[in-house]
Amino acid sequence: MRRDPGPEALRRWIDRAATRDPDKPYLVSLEDGRAMSYAELARTSDRIAAHFAARGIGANARVALLAGNSPEHLAVYLGVLAAGATICTVHVEANRPHLDAILQALAPCLVIHEESLELAEFAARTNAPSRPLGRWDDGGGTGFFADLPAEGAAPSPRAMPTDDAVILFTSGTTARPKGVVLTYREMLGNAAAAADGFAIGPDDRVYDYRSFNWASAQLLGALATLSAGATLLLRRRFSRSRFFADLARFGATIAAGNPTVIGLLLRADEPAGRVDLPDFRFMTSSSAPLLEDEWRRFEERFGIAVAQGYGTSETGWVATCTGATRRFGTVGRPLAHLELAIVDEAGRALPAGEAGHVEVGGLDGNRYRYIGEDGTVRIAAVGRARTGDMGFLDTDGYLHLTGRERDLIIRGGVNIAPVEIDAVLTGIAGVAEAATVGVPDPIYGEEVVSFVVLAPGTRMGAADILARCGERLPAFKAPKHIVVRGSLPRTDRGKLDRSALAREWPGGNLPSL
């Protein structure tokens, strides 16, 4: 029987690496060259745990961390987990309008905030004590780190595997962000499984620049890397001009990625071809669907394998692969511990090749939870949960995603996956990006409309694109309208915002073809 991990598992990961290779960097900050060794991570985690124990901060006590990517951010993140408390991360740039409401809902026992983000006024409005983040490596430390004992054996954490480990907030620009509550067994069990799924080992150097306030970077860049005793190459944010130079200079073997980053690299003004990276294995892509045409073009141009994976904030990584095991058009094989199934509306499992709802479970009696606006913890599902995505498994066990449940177009009672239409559109020479949505129709209920961005220098009208779609798609799936735009709307996380496009349609400003 599988043993669910609690905070002691995290301590074992740190101590094992610190004993085996104490001077090896756990992370390297690429902005300023600062490195934190595994021995230093072990000492800092012990100091944080001892500090918290002396103040009665333990299981399910919430520590709010308002900061961007930095060694200090990850030192606090891991130190809180090692102490058995609950770390609450908030992406400030995406959620600044909601910070007061978020902090009120969290009711933290401590707020730690990065000075450069100018958050003291928000922290002061809470009932909890607050401290600036400071630096961990400046003499005895500054800010929060100056509060820690110089040395100290960390007490054994009393938190259980089912206690709260992390509360993280999804991006929220116009709507209130959702706070997802994850236990130790959800976070640490998923991170270890993801390390196996991506085949991360102690010799890997994982390059990540995504916000560590969100689940994907926490699970892959911070925790999976730690569980394997590997090294994290940390950037504060993505830099197109530095990307390939960073991979070469710092000997990266794996890089995190997403479709937005891949698109930016493909559309860079400066000419760039295949890059010489003898130790590099693959780049991941997640957070949104990566269209197969763009995937192939990236690999052909740069000679870098892309391993597309899949997950959600509520469930962690769901499917993974490596550069060697990737299969175009899929997001890899499901992680075994989640016991993924494709089910119909009634929850019945569907056979290979048949599309339905993606559902996961695997943790006995697990409660999938979130923070309500009033601060109470609410249960969204028990035992098994649907991810909100549609897809199917092929006969080799690879997962194919066909679209979001909420994005599904139902035309005359027939389900149409927008991603399928998008793939056809971007396969037309001269179409750089595409997004398909369903719009109200008095006869069919919904009709298919596609928005496209043309590649620079392309001269093509909407009628030309419609004609080519008609050659490649059955009539009921082919778009009935094409709208050419200069760009497509995206969320703060770079995800395509189909709902924004759908809202444009009733405005009456779009041409009827």
Q: With 90 as the cut, is the pLDDT of residue 66 above it?
A: yes
| Residue extent(s) of CATH 3.40.50.980 domains in the chain | 1-26+36-184
For residue 513, pLDDT beyond 50:
no
Mean pLDDT of the 383-392 span: 94
Q: Angle 311-315-317 (CA atoms, 0-180°, nearest 5)? A: 35
Residue that the structure tokens 């391993």 belong to: 307
> What are the CB-based long-range contacts (under 8 Å, 24+) for 335-338?
335/190, 335/193, 335/194, 335/197, 336/193, 337/2, 337/189, 337/190, 337/193, 337/362, 337/363, 338/193, 338/362
pLDDT at 493: 67
What residues are paired with 179 via a beta bridge? 169, 371
Q: Is the confidence at residue 436, as pLDDT, over 80?
A: yes
In the numeric block, which tokens belong to residue 450? 């596609």
pLDDT at 502: 87
Residue 212 confidence (pLDDT): 97
Please give the sequence-ordered ranges of beta strands (E in DSSP) within 220-332, or none if there are none.
Answer: 231-234, 254-255, 282-285, 306-308, 310-312, 316-320
pLDDT value for 506 = 64
Average pLDDT over the chain, rounded to an integer? 91
Distance of CA 464 to the CA centre of its chain: 37
498 pLDDT exceeds 80?
yes
For residue 419, the model assigns a pLDDT of: 86
Q: Does domain 1-26+36-184 have CATH number 3.30.360.10?
A: no
Q: What pLDDT is stored for residue 2 in this prediction?
A: 56
The model's pLDDT over 249-304, given as tens digits with 9 standing for 90+, comes to 999 999 999 988 998 899 876 666 778 899 999 999 998 788 888 899 999 999 99
3-state helix, strand, coil in the chain (%, to 5): 30, 25, 45
CATH number of 408-507: 3.30.300.30
Residue 71: the pLDDT is: 97
- Amino acid, single-letter form, for residue 485: R
Is pLDDT at 41 greater than 90 in this prediction? yes
Evaluate if residue 373 carries a pLDDT over 90: no
pLDDT tens digits for range 187-218: 999 999 999 999 999 999 999 999 999 999 99
**pTM for this predicted structure:** 0.86
Helix (H, G, I), strand (E, B) or coil at 20: helix
Give the percent of the chain with pLDDT over 70: 95
Tens-digit pLDDT profile for residues 122-151: 888 988 999 999 999 987 789 999 999 988
**pLDDT of res. 510:** 42
Q: Say how far apart CA 182 and CA 367 lie, in whole Å.
A: 9
Grade residue 171 by pLDDT with cuts at 50, 70 and 90: low
* pLDDT score of 175: 61
Q: How many residues does the chain have?
A: 513
Which residue spans of the chain are classified as CATH 3.30.300.30?
408-507
